[in-house]
Amino acid sequence: MVRILSIHILDAHELAAKVLQEEISAKDVVSFFLERISKINPALNAFVYTNEASALSQASQVDVRKRQGEKMPLAGVPIAVKDVISVKDYQITCGSKILRGYIAPYDATVVERLKKAGAIIIGITNTDEFAMGSSTENSAYGPTHNPWSCTRVPGGSSGGSAVAVASGLSPVALGTDTGGSVRLPAAFTGVFGLKPTYGAVSRYGLIAYSNSLEQIGVFARSVKDLALVYSVISGADTRDGTTQNFGWDLFSCMGNSIENWKIGIVKETLAEGVDVSVQDALRDCSSYLERLGASVEEVSIKHIPFSLAAYYLIAMSEASSNLARFDGVRYGEHTSFEEEWNVEFSKVRSLFGLEVKRRILLGAYSLSAGYYEMFYEKAARFRSLISEEFKEAFKQFDVLLTPTSPTPPFRLGEKLQDPLMMYLSDIHTVPVNLAGLPALNLPVKIVQHDGELLPVGVQAIAPYGRDDKLFTLASALEKSAFIKKRIVEPWGRIVWTN
């Protein structure tokens, strides 16, 4: 029997192997992580909801299935799920007061697939309200803290999931990425964060923010774990008409060499405003890739700087429509029945936070008569333009690299007063969502910044449908030890590394 004092340092694939080989039971694994969460989560607020009874019951079922000989690729593996993805019988609030008390009556497709593979939903993680934010400070249930520093944000909006993985509260986690909400918190906490090609993962059961931009993504500390979870959740789903199969064999891709690969650094993302430590990290990464046999040069994607405006126009417009369903009637906080429906709906919808209100109003404005052509339609044309420019770049390059964030993790409260300043955190990540491309945060470096040790990430972008290239690249960097694994506990204590 394996000692269960430190199974949090194990990768998901290692845990699954031990469970299948009967070295440890799924129930013991889950009990261990629930206890670890109860000890460490209060300081971090990564998890906003756990359902111990359900988790232990899921674990018992996995133990039964294992004894019956079922081969489950994620047997007994805990996975944390962002508070916007439906998990049956769990409270899902989207980080909002308006859905307080909502118990999801069904599982999202990704959750069904994970459960079928033997994974256990260990808990629900914090998010900026309705996934609108870049720091997980906009949650109605309190901010999530970065385990690297008590004064800094973990990034957002999937901050809770990133922190859960970075601090060993769960080996893997799901987030969502509409404009960088998986990649940015991955960079700020020092883990891998994958945004799939648009259409690779079903959005059935994801509470919609911006349908044409978002994808459910994965956090992990190793490429193999990323591949394992991604293979389980991805693939066509008849319940989401935007999905399709791409047919990758991610595990064999991980063995491929990157010799002779052409890697392009997007020139426009090294402009003013990018912190020196971030530029250095990107430079270190490129030199390393050259040593591994790839060639690295600069490439221009001329209109990238305009992506932020186009992104927010589209995201806010879609959000304005998607959030119309929250009227206090079918779910969440209820209206009273005193006044007529207009008044009651308006009262209950005042429960939205300020950022959400801003986006709903501005989205509607951009879609309204007289402004539609000037705003929303222009953004939609820009979407075609930037997709073309990426396609052109990919004619010459296998993957593109940019910083994930222009700066290391910023401080709590630093960007809350000026919404535009917060939006600018996404400047390198949003172009990817407009074009529907796959992208991955590579946790390349820990830097000294303002007297603290903080993670910095590099973003790798692949052509539409070529997520496999990201796995090949990441695996090459990981195998050669350029990327290390760490578990960090509050505050900044690296309790384990490889």
Task: Decide if 18 is catalytic.
Answer: no
Minimum Å gap between C-beta 309 and other proteins is 5
In the complex, the smallest distance separating the C-beta of residue 361 from other proteins, rounded to whole angstroms, is: 5
Q: Which residues pair with 125 in a beta bridge?
A: 47, 82
Q: Which residues pair with 401 in a beta bridge?
A: 265, 460
- CB of residue 273 to other proteins, shortest distance in Å: 15
In the bound complex, what is the minimum distance in angstroms from residue 394's beta carbon to other proteins? Answer: 14
Residue 155 near residue 429, CB atoms below 8 Å? no
Is the CB of 244 or the CB of 277 nearer to other proteins? 244
Instruction: List, as own/partner pairs, every contact residues 342-349 make where C-beta atoms lie below 8 angstroms and the sequence separation is at least 24, other chains included.
Output: 348/98, 349/98
Q: What is the dihedral of CA 208, 301, 307, 188, to 10 degrees?
A: 70
Cα 141 from chain centroid (whole Å): 19
Q: How far is the CB of 437 from other proteins (least distance, A)?
A: 8
Pick the catalytic residue: 157, 167, 210, 222? 157
The DSSP code for 258 is -
Rounded to an integer, what distance in angstroms lies between the CA atom of residue 183 and that of residue 217?
A: 9
Query: Could you tell me the two tokens for 423?
Result: 């939006």
Nearest alpha-carbon partner for 132 in 323, 332, 356, 325? 356
Pick 162 or 313: Cβ nearer other proteins: 313
- Of residues 32 and 365, the one with the C-beta less far from other proteins: 365
Question: At residue 466, what is the residue type?
Answer: R
**Nearer to other proteins by C-beta: 365 or 482?**
365
Q: Which residue is catalytic, options 25, 161, 167, 181?
A: 181
User: Taking the complex as a whole, how short is the minimal distance between the CB of residue 482 and other proteins, in angstroms?
Assistant: 31
Number of other residues whose CB lies within 10 A of the CB of residue 388:
12
Distance (Å, rounded) from C-alpha 130 to C-alpha 6?
A: 35
* Residues 153 and 207 sit within 8 Å (Cβ to Cβ): no
How far apart CA 73 and CA 14 sit, in angstroms, is 11
Could you give the CA distance from residue 63 to residue 334 in angstroms, rounded to a whole number? Answer: 40
Residue tagged active-site, from 27, 82, 115, 485:
82
The answer to whether residue 157 is catalytic is: yes
Smaller CB separation from other proteins, 29 or 316: 316
By beta-carbon proximity to other proteins, the closer residue of 243 and 404 is: 243
Catalytic-residue membership of 181: yes
DSSP 369-403: TTTTTTTHHHHHHHHHHHHHHHHHHHHH-SEEEEE
Q: Which residues are catalytic?
A: 82, 157, 181
